[in-house]
Amino acid sequence: MTKRAIDAVFESMFILTDLRVLLRETAPLHELDPGQKGSAQSLLAELQGKVDLLKEELLS
Amino acid sequence: MKCAGPIDVRDVDESCINIDPIQVGGRLTPEAMKAVIAYGDGYSVCDNCRKPFRLDYIKAPPVDAFHRDLAAFLHMDVARVVPGARRGFQAVADTYVQKGDPVLITALSHYTEVLAVEGCGGTLREVPKSREDLITPDAAAETIERVSKEFGRPPSLFFLDHVDYQFGNVHPVKEIIRVAHQHDIPVLLNGAYTVGIMEVDGKDLGADFVVGSGHKSMAAPAPSGVLATTTERAGDLFRTTQARTDLTGRTFGVKEVEMMGCTLMGVTLIGMMASFPRVLERVKHWDSEVEKSRRVVDSIRSIEGTRILSEEPRNHTLTRVDTIHSFDKVAQTHKKRGFFLSSALRARGIAGTIPGATKVWKFNTYGMTEKQADYVARAFREIAAENGLRVGNQLKTSDL
């Protein structure tokens, strides 16, 4: 396990936490306004990057 | 969905708007949620604990600086973190109350203050509340005189709730503390419903001790809290151990007796610390929280037969209502009986009321977004109308 992988695990959980907060802020209907959709999109893209990095670090 | 074994995932705040009277101010900030992920293991803040071993000396993470920041935040001289406000009450009572001493609480005091006094053998005397469910300086003065006469000495301590848990009323604590000090009675200000959501200036209020709850109002995991005091009182309250064991002759140096050595050694403390910058900021926006509270209260008041039992206009987000002549009337004939209200709220994604409660109940609007406040306000009116209750023009707080 490299430091990069360890960091990526925590960073992924932190990104998921930001998504969790978004769910809290928009409960109960979860109708995201354009700004919130933009945030969700960048968070998901960032998360995807971390998952890719983890695949590279752990599986290659 | 399960977290582990039989333990369900708790997603009430992700799926609903939570109006639970005691939960909302303790919900974690995003920063605390992240810190909790990293510091979930037992003694996680103790990695860098070095001689002399004590929690408030730890520099990484900056626990030492956090203690100083907490004291400054409350405008007090010294602060310690404690496992819940109740442990702060207990530490102060253990230090200042001898067996048989009279101790003042109020008619609106939290039960843990009673237990703290009972634990050290004090004798409780209550300051009565007014018709408006407020504790007044006059009532405090009369009680002090009466109790002093009864015991031949003034009470050794006075527990005073800044905002009470029953009505969410804001009491004139500065004036009451002034009265207590005229009789040389030290005052513990219970800020469980203020510290962390409103600005609290302990020095300006004149408090000898300020206690806050991490899990109630400081966006921290339970059990957590803060106990702050003045330089004058800190020596007694945070006295260090003098004990020497008889066989091995061991001593324990800087450990503080009332703190039982160290207090919050992991996830509770790190959660408090991580939330703290946001807590510092959020107390400045208390007015907007009160405005949202009033908006929801205005809506509930507009339902025929409903009474707001808390002081009005509302100055806090915790409110007690009487719906005996509105929602409880519906419950008499509804097929779900008293459960219809919590069920109707839940169907709209609103959680935190006691299932079955339709007579007298409490809710708390703290931390809602503007949209969520409007949504909750509308939901109560809709539920009332759907169940045949008349919903009047929304009488606004400003019209009162």
pLDDT tens digits along B345-359: 999 999 999 999 999
pLDDT of B49 higher than 90? yes
| Average pLDDT by stretches of 10, chain A with 60 residues | 92 98 98 98 98 95
pLDDT of B51 higher than 70? yes
Residue of A nearest to B349 (CA): A28
pLDDT of B255 higher than 70? yes
pLDDT of B398 higher than 80? no
Protein fold of B39-265: Aspartate Aminotransferase; domain 2 (3.40.640)
Question: CA torsion sign, A51 to A30 to B36 to B1?
Answer: negative
* Assigned token pair, B18: 């939570």
pLDDT the model gives residue B284: 98
Binned at pLDDT 50, 70 and 90, residue B173 comes out as: very high
Hey, where are the domains in chain B? 2-21+285-399, 39-265
Give contacts of B 332-371 with A, CB under 8 A.
348-350, 369
Residue keyed to tokens 């000396």: B57
pLDDT the model gives residue B393: 77
Q: Which helix (H) or strand (E) holds B363?
A: strand B360-364
Q: What is the pTM of this model?
A: 0.97
Of B390, B393, B243, B249, nearest in space to B325 by CA: B390
pLDDT of B400 higher than 70? no
Over residues B184-212, the mean pLDDT reads 98
CA–CA distance, B119 with B291 (Å, rounded to integer): 40
Instruction: Mutation target for B interface from A24, A29, A32, A43: give the one with most B CBs within 10 A.
Output: A24
Decide if the complex's ipTM is over 0.85: yes
Set of chain B residues whose Cβ sits within 8 Å of the Cβ of A24: 13-14, 27
What are B344-350's contacts with CB under 8 Å, separation 24+? B344/B383, B344/B386, B344/B387, B345/B379, B345/B383, B346/B16, B348/A28, B348/B375, B348/B379, B348/B382, B348/B383, B349/A27, B349/A28, B349/A29, B349/B15, B349/B16, B349/B17, B350/A28, B350/B16, B350/B17, B350/B19, B350/B376, B350/B379
User: Is the Cβ pair B33, A24 closer than 8 Å?
Assistant: no
Segment B315-340, tens digit of pLDDT: 999 999 999 999 999 999 999 999 99
Distance from the Cα of B333 to chain A's closest Cα (Å) equals 29
Set of chain B residues whose Cβ sits within 8 Å of the Cβ of A18: 30
pLDDT the model gives residue B142: 98
**Coil vs helix vs strand at A13:** helix
pLDDT of B30 higher than 90? yes
Over residues B375-388, the mean pLDDT reads 98
pLDDT the model gives residue B395: 60
Set of chain A residues whose Cβ sits within 8 Å of the Cβ of B34: 13-14, 17
Beta bridge mates, B165: none
pLDDT the model gives residue B258: 98
Binned at pLDDT 50, 70 and 90, residue B97 comes out as: very high
Protein fold of B2-21+285-399: Aspartate Aminotransferase, domain 1 (3.90.1150)
Give contacts of A 26-55 with B, CB under 8 A.
27-29
Share of chain B above pLDDT 90, in %: 98
**Residues across chain B:** 400
Taking CA atoms, B316 is separated from B19, B101, B214, B229, in Å, by 14, 34, 18, 25
Set of chain B residues whose Cβ sits within 8 Å of the Cβ of A40: none
Binned at pLDDT 50, 70 and 90, residue B245 comes out as: very high
pLDDT the model gives residue B397: 64
pLDDT the model gives residue B399: 62
**Coil vs helix vs strand at B333:** helix
Set of chain A residues whose Cβ sits within 8 Å of the Cβ of B16: 27-28
Residue in A14, A21, A27 closest to B15 by CB:
A27
Distance from the Cα of A27 to chain B's closest Cα (Å) equals 5
Q: What is the mean pLDDT of chain B?
A: 97
